[in-house]
Amino acid sequence: MPPILYNLKELNPFLKKVKPSKILIVTSDILENKLKWAIQEISHTNVVVLPDGENAKEWVQIEKILKQFTKIGLDRKSIVIALGGGTVGDVVGFASAIYLRGVRYIQVPTTLLAQVDSAYGGKTGINFNGYKNQVGVFNNPLAIIVDIRFLNSLSNDQLTDGLGEIIKAGLIKDSSILSLLRKEGSHVFQKERILALLVKKSIAVKQFYIRKDPKEIYLRQILNVGHTVGHAIELKYKLSHGKAVLYGLLKELAVGESLGITSHTVKVNFLVILNKLNIKINNKYRTDLESLYHDKKIFHDSITMPIIEKEGKTKVVTIKLKDLRKLL
C-alpha cells in the first residue's frame, strides 16, 4: 500500500529521495489559481491544467494530456503529481498508467471527498458514452499526501460532498464516525481537529477493505454502499459525486429495510445526522435503471450490491433487477 504523508511539506523531501527526471504537476484551470500556495510549495518542472470538475473525465482530455506529456518529454523516470479533487486524481492516474506503459504519479487530494476516499485504492478512469467511470485501470500512486490546509478553501457545499463518503465509512464499518458526527453536528465544518480525526478514521475504513481485496473481487464491494443508486443518478442529474452518494445512501437504506436486512433505526439515525449537519437531500430524482445495466456489478438479471445491516455492519447481497426496480 502506498504511504500516506500528512503534510504537503513532506512531499519535497520524498521527491528528493526518488530523484525524478521531471516533476509535472497536473491540476485544474480553476485550482491553478486557487491553490497557488501549494504549487509554489511543491518543487516541479512543469504545470499542466485540465478543465475543472467532471469535464476533465472525458476521452478527449486524455488525448490532450498525453500530448502534453509528450511535449514536455516525460519519461519513465518522471513523476506526475495530481493536485486536485477526485476528478484530477482519476484522470492523472489513468493517463499515467497508459503513458509509456506507466509513469509514476503521486496523489495530492485537495477536496474532502478525495482526501477520505478517491485517492486510495488505485481506481482510476474516465466517464464514457454517458456512463460513470466506464473506462479505466487500477493504478496505485507512489504516495498520497493528505494536508488538512486544503480544506480551508472549500465551501460548506464542497465539504458536504466529502461528508457523504465519511458517513458511508461510518455506516459500513466504524460507527464511532457516526457518533462523532451526531455529537458535533455542523460544528464539524469549523473544527479542523474534528475534521482531521474524521479524515483519518475514514481513510482507515477504506484502507481496511483495499488491503483485504485490492482488485475488488468481493469484499471491497462493500465500499460501494450508496453508489449503485448514486451512480445511476449522478450524470443524469449532473450532481456532484458526494450529493449523489448521499441520495444513494438514503435510497439504499430504504431498499435494505424493505428486504428485511437493514434495521429501521439505521435510516432514522442517518436522517438525524443529516439534520444536525444541515444537509438537505432532494427527493425528486428517479433512479435511471437503464444506466444500472451498465453497472459493473450486474450479471444477467441480477445485481450484486452491499446492504447495511446495522451501523458498522454490512453484507453483500444479490438482488433480481426486477425486484430492485420495484423498491426504488
Ligand X SMILES: NC(=O)c1ccc[n+]([C@@H]2O[C@H](COP(=O)([O-])OP(=O)(O)OC[C@H]3O[C@@H](n4cnc5c(N)ncnc54)[C@H](O)[C@@H]3O)[C@@H](O)[C@H]2O)c1
Binding region for ligand X (CB under 6 A) out of 107-115, 266-274, 288-296, 317-325 = 107-115
Q: Where are the alpha helices (DSSP H) in the chain?
A: 11-18, 31-34, 36-41, 59-72, 86-98, 112-113, 156-172, 175-184, 192-212, 227-234, 241-258, 264-276, 289-292, 321-327
Cβ proximity to ligand X: between 61 and 269 the closer is 61
For the question of residue 156 being annotated catalytic, the response is no
Parallel/antiparallel/unpaired status of strands 46-50 and 23-28: parallel
What is the rounded distance in angstroms from the CA atom of residue 23 to the CA atom of residue 45? 5
Among 81, 88, 172, 277, binds ligand X (CB under 6 A): 88
For the question of residue 216 being annotated catalytic, the response is yes
Q: How many residues does the chain have?
A: 328
For the question of residue 36 being annotated catalytic, the response is no
What is the rounded distance in angstroms from the CA atom of residue 100 to the CA atom of residue 14? 23
Among 44, 62, 78, 86, binds ligand X (CB under 6 A): 86
Does 57 contact ligand X by CB under 6 A?
A: yes
313 Cβ contact list (under 8 Å, min separation 6): none
For the question of residue 220 being annotated catalytic, the response is yes
Cβ proximity to ligand X: between 75 and 192 the closer is 192
Does 312 contact ligand X by CB under 6 A?
A: no
Site for ligand X in 145-204 (CB under 6 A): 150, 153-154, 158, 161
What is the rounded distance in angstroms from the CA atom of residue 145 to the CA atom of residue 271? 33
For the question of residue 140 being annotated catalytic, the response is no
For the question of residue 149 being annotated catalytic, the response is no
Cα 52 off chain centre by:
16
Cα 263 off chain centre by:
27
Q: Binding pattern to ligand X, positions 224-263, x when CB under 6 A?
A: ----------------xxx---------------------
Does 113 contact ligand X by CB under 6 A?
A: yes
3-state SS assignment for residue 279: coil
The residues that bridge with 28 in the sheet, in sequence order, are 50
Does 207 contact ligand X by CB under 6 A?
A: no
For the question of residue 46 being annotated catalytic, the response is no
Does 34 contact ligand X by CB under 6 A?
A: yes
Phi and psi at 60, nearest 5°, equal: -60, -30
Shortest distance (Å) from residue 323 CB to ligand X: 27
Binding region for ligand X (CB under 6 A) out of 118-126, 172-180, 192-200, 262-270 = 118-126
CA angle (144, 184, 186) in 5-degree steps: 85
| Binding residues for ligand X (CB under 6 A) | 28, 30-31, 34-35, 52-54, 57, 84-88, 90, 110-111, 113-114, 117-118, 121, 123, 132-133, 150, 153-154, 158, 161, 240-242
